[in-house]
Amino acid sequence: MTQNALYINYEFCTGCHSCEIACRNEKGIGLDDFGMKVLEDRPRQHADGSWHWDYIGYPTELCDLCADRVAEGKLPSCVQMCQAKCLHYGTVDECAQMLTKKGSKAAIFMP
């Protein structure tokens, strides 16, 4: 069986929290819990004056990559609702290819 995964281009995760709420809505997760969670590495300036400020949405153990939605031909809820379109769903191979192509600030998650 092909394994699927979630690819995130976190250079462009804007920290909008849409994935968190879309996931809660889809999976009926309570307000204090997360199937998808946006983490923030708060802003700071490097010695050379350039800036660091990253968000990354990542799936927790409550994530099943929206198996039911995918079976109906839909995208996982977080991927569909992502405003920055920085999340992608695919096979591990497809995600790995995207990762290689991107070359930096990207990750693959298998929840």
Partner 1 sequence: MAEFKTVNSDGSVTYRTCAWSPPGCHPVGCGLLVHVKDDKVTKVEGDPEHPITRGALCSRCLALPEYMYHPDRIIYPMKRAKEDRGLDKWERCSWDEAVNLIVTNAKAVSEKYGPESIAVFGGTGREGNDYYSTFANCVFGTPNAVYAQPGWSCYGPRASITAFMMGGGYPEIDYAQKCKDRYEDPAFTAPEVIVLWGKEPLRSNPDGMFGHSVVEMMQQFGTKVIMVDPRMTWIGTRSEYVLQLRPGTDTAMAMAWINVMVEEGLYDKDFVEKWTYGFDEMAQACAEMTPERAAEICGVSAEDIRAAARLYGSSHPSSLCWGLAVDQNPNGVQLGQCLLSLMAITGDLDAPGGTILGAGDPHASNAARSDSVADADEARDAADYADRLEEEVYANQMETAITYAYKYGLMTEERYAKKIGVDKYPAIGAVMWTVAPDEFLKALETGKPYEMHMAMIQSSNPVGSAISGEPQRWHNALKKLDFNFCTDLFMNPTIMSCCDVFLPLATTVEHDAIVVPHYSLNMSFFGAERKCVQVGECKSEMEILLLLGNEIFPQYWGQFEDETDYIRKKSGKLDWDNLCQEVIVTNVEPYYKYESGMLRADKQPGFPTQTGRVELYSYTYEAFGESPLPYYEEPAYGPISTPELMKDYPFVLTTGARRQEYFHSEHKQVPSLRKISPWPEMEINPADAAALGIEQGDWVEMASPYGTCRQRAVVTPTIKKGVVHAVHGWSYPEESGEEPTLFGNWRSNINVLMPNSVNGKLGFGDTFKCMICSCKKVDGPGEHASPKESEVYVEPSRAAEFTLAQTWRPATAPEYSKGA
Distance of alpha carbon 80 from its chain centroid, rounded? 11
- Distances in Å between the alpha carbon of 87 and those of 10, 35, 45? 9, 15, 27
Footprint on residues 33-52 left by partner 1 (CB under 8 A)? 42-45, 51-52
Task: Quote the least distance from Cβ 46 to partner 1, whole Å.
Answer: 11
Task: Quote the least distance from Cβ 92 to partner 1, whole Å.
Answer: 22
Structure tokens at 82: 């992502």
- Distance, CA of 17 to CA of 51 (rounded, Å): 22
- C-beta separation of 43 from 94 below 8 A: no
32 vs 61 by CB, closer to partner 1 = 32
For position 82 contacting partner 1 by CB under 8 A, the verdict is: yes
- In the list 39, 41, 68, 85, the residue contacting partner 1 (rule: CB under 8 A) is 85
For position 70 contacting partner 1 by CB under 8 A, the verdict is: no
C-alpha angle 82-85-90 in degrees, rounded to nearest 5? 95
Residues lying near partner 1 in the complex (CB under 8 A): 9, 11-12, 14-18, 21-22, 24-26, 31, 42-45, 51-53, 55, 75, 77, 80-86
